[in-house]
Chain A
Amino acid sequence: MPAWLIRWLLRARATLSARLDRELRDELQLHLRLLEEEYIAQGIPPEVARRRAHREFGNATLFQEASHNLFSFRLLEDLIQDLRYAVREMRRSAGFTCIAVLSLAVGIGAVTAAFAVVDAFMLRGLPVREPDKLVAFSTSDSSAWGSWPYASFTWWRNSPDARFEVAAASDVRSHDVPLRGSEKPGEVRVSLVSANYFRVMGADIALGRDLTDQDAGAPGEAAVAVISHAFWKRWFGRTPDVLAKTIDLHGVSYEVVGVARQGFTGHAVGHPSDVWIPLTMQSAVMPGMPGLLEDRWGTGAAWLRIVGRLGTGVRLEQAAASANLIRQRFIAEKAAELGEGPEVVRDRKRVVSLLRATTGYAPERAQYARPLMILSGITALVLLVACANFTNLMLARSEGRRREFVIRLALGGGRWRLIRQSATECVVLAVVAGLLGLLFASWVTALSLKQFAVMIMPVEFALELDARVLAFAGTCVVVVIAFGLWPSTRPARAALVSSVYQSSSASGRGRTRAIAGRIMLIAQLAMCTVLLIGAGLLLRTVTNLRSQELGFDRNVLLVSVSPGQAGYTEQAGAMLLQRVRERLAAVPGILAVGISGPALLDYTNYWIDGSQRLTTDRGVVLPGARWTFAAVGPGYVEAVGMSLVDGRAFDDRDAHPPADVVVINRSLATFLFSNESPIGRRIRISPRGPMQSVIGVVNDAKQVSPRDRGMGVVYLPLRGFNRVVLAVRTAGPPSDAAPVIRHQLGALASDLPIEKVRTIAEVLDNAIAQERLMSAISLFLGALVIAIGCVGLYALMSYDVAQRTHELGVRLALGATSRRVVTMVLRDSAWMVLPALAIGMPLGVAASRPLSSQLYGVQTGDPWTLASVALLLSVVALLATFRPAQTASRIDPIALLRNE
């Protein structure tokens, strides 16, 4: 064995065992004894012999130390010792440790949670090979993935000169699939994909095989499916013989031929696919929309997302040029075949753009990116507050240990060693806080996602604490250490011998500490203020949105039904709904029933596009952005409680057959006709549509979003009966009426699927779910931050009172009342809260500027919010100072002076 290895092993063994010191001591002791005996043998008396032996021997301890250092890894030993010491110190001041660690853990956890969500939602690339090469095809100059007809896909796929490879996929949709052994059907999320989907995406198949071109043969022939790993677990329990098992969808059995690699759930982030079925099975999977594959010239529905993978060495611009070239060629062919109609002209003008698809398809990103970043900013504030708190606590503690360090230095402890020891303590605290923070983060993310899914929309993310998140948490720990290092090593660095002799109340000493501590606390409270202002504004936004005048009653029930999905034709559906209306109106307790097209306050149902123009009979043209339309049936206006201003609402005359009449709202009336009465006037809502007479004007009511203000609405007679909403006004509470309605509907048409039964109030809540969630989260964080600030203030004030006990005692002895002493303490505390507010208020107003797009009914400088925040902070400060003030008032000057 090489020499260095032997040495290393011996040293390692010595470091880890306690035997080393004992053996060294024994060896040296023996030498001493033998020396002694020698002297005795020479005739010297025992006492003298012993002393002489000791003298001759020299400093045994020094020898021992020297040999010890030889034998062990000094550094490692020191580290272990430092760690032990740190843990012991932490246990001794358990209260301090708990507060510091918990507040840090909360800060680190919150920030890490925010990062994990942002990463999963916005930053992380798809779990595929070379995701940077993926591109998405977009229809115009937008940043959203476009929808394409099948023909588009084929023309790009079949062009040999394309500089990319394309695959197509439909959006994920849920289907009910019979679940074996259960009455209720299970939910399966299906996406139709081209045969080369997995190859183009770069996703691996873990089990079985990929889809092949054979599967893309004749339509309807390839009843196969590839399933996701998660689905394999959920549906089949991860059985090894999953291949050749089947899934029954709308009467067709699909054979499972492959399982995708774990982690891949399709190109849509937040909307995972369970099952991928070849495109050619489209008619079977989507029974309501047959023939989408026969669309030769792309004139039919646009229902596919097209994903491409750049060829090797191909840049994005080159691929885009190639795509447009191919498309223009195809349009030329189409024009040759179908003639140069206006659509062809429009097609030619449109440009296809390619977007980077590294992070997948997430339509919610545009909407939620901003709130998410705002929340992340808030969590960063929480961490800063926690760090400031940590610094302060460390300052307070290190001050108290000043004497200890001076003594240790005097006894010969190396200064560097002592600094290292203090630093180790700080690091241990930070690391423990980091670990706890990770736990907190995983809990918080799970909770937030659940809330998001419940309140806003069901999304699913793979939120694991992976390497990136851990690295981020590690960075936070480093930041925390940076904050804590200076105060924790202060006593070791600056300990002066003279401090040992000064009594604890001497002024001048600890000046720096006092000032630094106060500054930290003021900074903390200022950040609290900033956060609270933001949270307060969001809270007011939510209350404003909730409690505002909607234009209709909140207690009206909305029942969504889909006769079209049950197979009713337009005619049959219309008649059915008429009967439903009559039947329900006859039920006691139901006051009015109306029907409308897709529901209120669900902005996804409305199309607001700038290109549609309104024309009046006198030629005033209104560009599309400030108006929308809604289809309603007779009785609707009365049922939901809108108020008529002029004319009349629709009744049965206008319904069968649907007449060319409209009702408009007040904003639109004012805009189009100013002070004249709109009744009898006519407008046209689409360039090729008929002129329609205005028969009534209603007061403004929120149609598209709770934030609508001054939006014009045109109410048209209901024409399509595939999916409608019944508006039911009840005499008693709506919840009582719901089962009755279901029963009646079931009696009339048992096959009619009832999708949702909600009150308008519930719909409103749903529409403001994002604001509610943001408000809830920021309030939660605000509470955390206030708690941390309160604890910090309490710690500082108690410490101060303890330090000043002597001084206060003298004052009391000299005649000050205890009330005066309390006032002094309170004033001290106020001197920290006031500057904090002075700094925090303007900072908070400035910092909430990015929030202004989210706000409703409040401005960023809202005085009520600012006043409430100031009040809240003052109350909390009072609470925190209460105990120390009480302690100060109870100082017994006589006992104190006696102890001096």
Chain B
Amino acid sequence: MARAPHGELLQGTLPLLILRTLATGPNHGFAVARRIQQISRSVLRVEQGSLYPALHRMELDGLIESYWGTTENNRQAKYYRLTRRGSRQLASETERWNAISGAIAAVLQEG
């Protein structure tokens, strides 16, 4: 679950965010969280309690796969990268998200 510091809840979008982040390149869990935070300008901050279960669940679902690598500081880290199924999922989820958010925006505008 990604939660804004002011309590905005966006359920179920974390996997989508992770997929998008990993689409730019494989990375380990900490880096993925930091990147989401960075790009959203700290609006979305990922908590550890939701990050890792999400990552592991996605791995079980075959959307991402893991391998052990080393960081720049030569530390052992578990890296994740997108699978083919994952990129397919990313495309379809992005489309769906855009459709929904567009519809919500339309309703809010017109009222």
Contact = CB atoms under 8 A, between A and B. Distances in A.
Contacts of B75: 30, 33
A63 interface: yes
A71 B48 CA distance: 17
A58 B48 contact: yes
A31 interface: yes
Contact of A7 (B52, B60, B77, B85): B60
Nearest to A6: B62
Given A28-B52, A58-B49, A63-B53, A34 B30 contact: yes
Interface of A: 3, 6-7, 10-11, 23, 26-28, 30-31, 33-35, 57-58, 62-63, 66-67, 70-71
Contacts of A3: 61-62, 85
Contacts of A34: 30
A169 B76 CA distance: 84
B77 A30 contact: yes
A63 B62 CA distance: 21
A3 B84 CA distance: 13
22 contacts: A3-B61, A3-B85, A6-B62, A7-B60, A7-B61, A23-B78, A26-B76, A26-B78, A28-B52, A30-B28, A30-B29, A30-B76, A30-B77, A30-B78, A31-B30, A31-B48, A58-B48, A62-B49, A63-B49, A67-B56, A70-B56, A70-B60
B29 A7 contact: no
Given A26-B76, A27-B52, 16 more contacts: A3-B61, A7-B62, A11-B60, A23-B78, A27-B78, A30-B28, A30-B29, A30-B76, A30-B77, A31-B48, A31-B52, A33-B75, A34-B30, A58-B48, A58-B49, A67-B56
A70 B28 contact: no
A34 B77 CA distance: 11
Given A58-B49, A63-B49, A70-B53, A27 B62 contact: no
A135 B56 CA distance: 69
Given A3-B62, A30-B76, A33-B75, A66 B30 contact: no
Contacts of A71: 56, 60
Interface string B39-78: 0000000011100110011011110000000010001111
A19 to B, nearest CB: 11
A747 to B, nearest CB: 96
Contacts of B52: 27-28, 31, 63, 67
Contacts of B78: 23, 26-27, 30
Contact of B53 (A7, A31, A35, A66): A66
A7 B60 CA distance: 5
A70 B30 CA distance: 20
A107 to B, nearest CB: 48
Nearest to A66: B53
Interface residues on chain B, size class = 20 to 34
A253 B54 CA distance: 85
A30 B61 CA distance: 24
Contact of A57 (B48, B53, B85): B48
Interface of B: 28-30, 47-49, 52-53, 56-57, 59-62, 71, 75-78, 85
A70 B57 contact: yes
Contacts of B62: 3, 6-7
Contacts of A57: 48
Nearest to A23: B78
A23 to B, nearest CB: 7
Contacts of A67: 52-53, 56
Nearest to A26: B76
A10 B66 CA distance: 12
Interface centre among B28, B52, B71 (most CB of A within 10 A): B52
Nearest to A3: B62
A23 B66 CA distance: 11
Contacts of A31: 29-30, 48, 52
Nearest to A31: B30
Nearest to A33: B75
A63 B60 contact: no
Contact of A10 (B28, B48, B60): B60
A375 to B, nearest CB: 59
A6 B78 CA distance: 20
A34 B51 CA distance: 15
A71 B61 CA distance: 11
Contacts of B47: 58
B28 to A, nearest CB: 7
Nearest to A1: B62
B74 to A, nearest CB: 12
Contacts of B76: 26, 30
Nearest to B61: A3
A35 B30 contact: yes
B65 to A, nearest CB: 10
A177 B69 CA distance: 83
Contacts of A7: 60-62
A70 B85 CA distance: 20
Nearest to A56: B48
A3 B85 CA distance: 10
Contacts of A58: 47-49
B48 A63 contact: yes
Nearest to A30: B77
Nearest to B59: A10
Nearest to A11: B60
A513 B75 CA distance: 58
Nearest to A64: B52
Contacts of A26: 76, 78
Contacts of B28: 27, 30
B80 to A, nearest CB: 10
Nearest to A8: B60
B1 to A, nearest CB: 13
A667 B77 CA distance: 106
